[in-house]
Amino acid sequence: MGIPFEVLLLTSGAGALQSAFFSVYLFSIRKERNLANVLLALLLLAFAIRIVKSVIYYFSLGHQVSTVVMNFGFGANLAIFPLLLLYLNSFHKKEYRLIWWRDLPHLFPALLVILLSPVLTSHFWMKQHGYAISLWSAALYLPFCLRVLVKNFQNINGTQRIWVLSVTFGVVLVWAGYMANFIFGLVPYIAAPVLFSFLIYFLSYLGLKKGEIFRPREKYERSAYSENQIDRCFGELQTWLASNHPYRDASVTLPKMADQLKVSANLLSETINKRAQQSFPDYINSFRIKNAQELLKDPAYANEKIATIALETGFRSISVFNTAFKKHTNTTPSAYRNRPPERN
């Protein structure tokens, strides 16, 4: 016996409504508002629009949907996985900031669909494979989302792990429901909206029970070290860097450096994070770049290739050196070398 029409309508419709309410809630918590919460709110809002379109399509007479509703639904669909990737990055990195030239292109297809709403019709989506392409395009984001999860999994606590896994695999499951329906014809169309309803209520329950998920995450909020220990470690670190130049070794790592200083890797990591406000790689690279700047202006190195200077200052390759140099100086090594000396 099939599930009654009314039950399906209530279940799928309530999920879309709950997603919209959850999104509004995240926008409203001003005290804890941060980039991760804003992106999660946008993700839930995109899902709400996408599910509303699905519900209207499935339960309307003859599956008739207005052009505006249809295109907003498909546009929201194109935004879901890009927003998921941006959310995961911002959730794991407190210092993560949106950069328009890097991040806006991810959302460009969704914005383009909405702008072209008066032009795009069901013929484009169904007969010209627009919908199929939008579904398959989501698969391109899966490896990148999983990479962010795996890379940061050991740096978060149990509650945070459950949360990011639930959000990520929940989004993937709903996407798989739409794929299983349209691409493979294995499940009814309403399966994905019903799956999403269960997902959003589970996420709502988890979010209400573990409210700390939505607060900015401090990496060392429960430190095992005193301020005196951190200050002493930082002083010894600076002295050692100035006298031994360990950053010139491309194989230097946090554990190796901690061993040389005879401190724990955790203490050294916390010291650099708190006193230099940088991660270990960025901190070490800052010394390498300063050394590289000196060599690029040194007359004795005037005829040396930039690649040679990169290797001598501790970089494994010229491409990594160029990226790090521009990040720290806002210019390229060659442009810096050719820059006229500053007048006193």
Q: Is residue 256 part of a domain?
A: yes
Distance CA 200, CA 91 (A): 19
Q: Greater confidence, 121 or 95?
A: 121
| Least confident span in 111-115, 181-185, 186-190, 217-221 | 217-221
- Average pLDDT score over residue span 152-181: 90
Contacts of 71 (CB under 8 A, 6+ apart): 113, 114, 116, 117, 120
Q: Is residue 343 part of a domain?
A: no
Q: Greater confidence, 234 or 156?
A: 234
Q: Are 204 and 238 members of one domain?
A: no
Q: Is residue 220 part of a domain?
A: no
Question: End of a domain among 214, 236, 265?
Answer: 214
| Residue range 135-163, pLDDT digits in tens | 999 999 999 999 999 988 877 778 888 99
pLDDT at 113 over 70: yes
Confidence of residue 34 (pLDDT cuts 50, 70, 90): confident
Q: Are 16 and 119 members of one domain?
A: yes
Confidence of residue 61 (pLDDT cuts 50, 70, 90): confident
**What pLDDT score was predicted for residue 30?**
66
**What pLDDT score was predicted for residue 275?**
86
Q: Are 116 and 167 members of one domain?
A: yes
Give the count of beta carbons closer than 10 Å to the beta carbon of residue 108.
11
Distance CA 54, CA 192 (A): 9
pLDDT at 224 over 80: no
pLDDT at 11 over 90: no
Q: Are 206 and 330 members of one domain?
A: no
| Residue range 244-288, pLDDT digits in tens | 999 999 999 988 999 999 998 888 988 888 888 788 888 999 999
Give me the domain span that covers residue 27.
5-214
Q: Greater confidence, 343 or 140?
A: 140
Average pLDDT in the chain: 89
Burial pattern 181-216, b for ≥16 Cβ within 10 A else e, equals beeeeebeebbbbbbbbebbbebbeebeeeeebbee
**Residues, the chain:** 344
> Which CATH number goes with the domain that contains 112?
1.20.1070.10
**What pLDDT score was predicted for residue 340?**
79
Q: Is residue 222 part of a domain?
A: no
Distance CA 329, CA 226 (A): 34
> Phi first, then psi: what are they for 81, rounded to 5°?
-70, -40
pLDDT at 168 over 90: yes
pLDDT at 25 over 60: yes
Number of domains within the chain? 2
Q: Are 112 and 238 members of one domain?
A: no
Q: Are 99 and 244 members of one domain?
A: no
Question: End of a domain among 187, 214, 241?
Answer: 214
Alpha-helix runs per DSSP H in 93-220: 100-115, 122, 130-138, 142-152, 158-182, 191-209
Q: Is residue 344 part of a domain?
A: no
pLDDT at 218 over 70: no
Q: Are 184 and 113 members of one domain?
A: yes
Confidence of residue 343 (pLDDT cuts 50, 70, 90): low
Q: Put residue 29 in one of left, alpha, beta given phi > 0 → left and psi -120 to 50 → alpha.
A: beta
pLDDT at 217 over 60: no
pLDDT at 292 over 50: yes
Q: Is residue 221 part of a domain?
A: no
| Residue range 280-289, pLDDT digits in tens | 888 999 999 9
Q: Are 184 and 329 members of one domain?
A: no
pLDDT at 318 over 50: yes
**What pLDDT score was predicted for residue 185?**
93
Q: Are 64 and 203 members of one domain?
A: yes
Q: Is residue 164 part of a domain?
A: yes
**What pLDDT score was predicted for residue 221?**
52
Q: Is residue 106 part of a domain?
A: yes
pLDDT at 344 over 50: no
Q: Which two tokens stand for residue 154?
A: 């050991």
Q: Are 184 and 231 members of one domain?
A: no
> Which CATH number goes with the domain that contains 244?
1.10.10.60
Q: Are 160 and 278 members of one domain?
A: no
Question: End of a domain among 214, 248, 273?
Answer: 214
**What pLDDT score was predicted for residue 222?**
54
Q: Are 178 and 261 members of one domain?
A: no
**What pLDDT score was predicted for residue 1?**
39
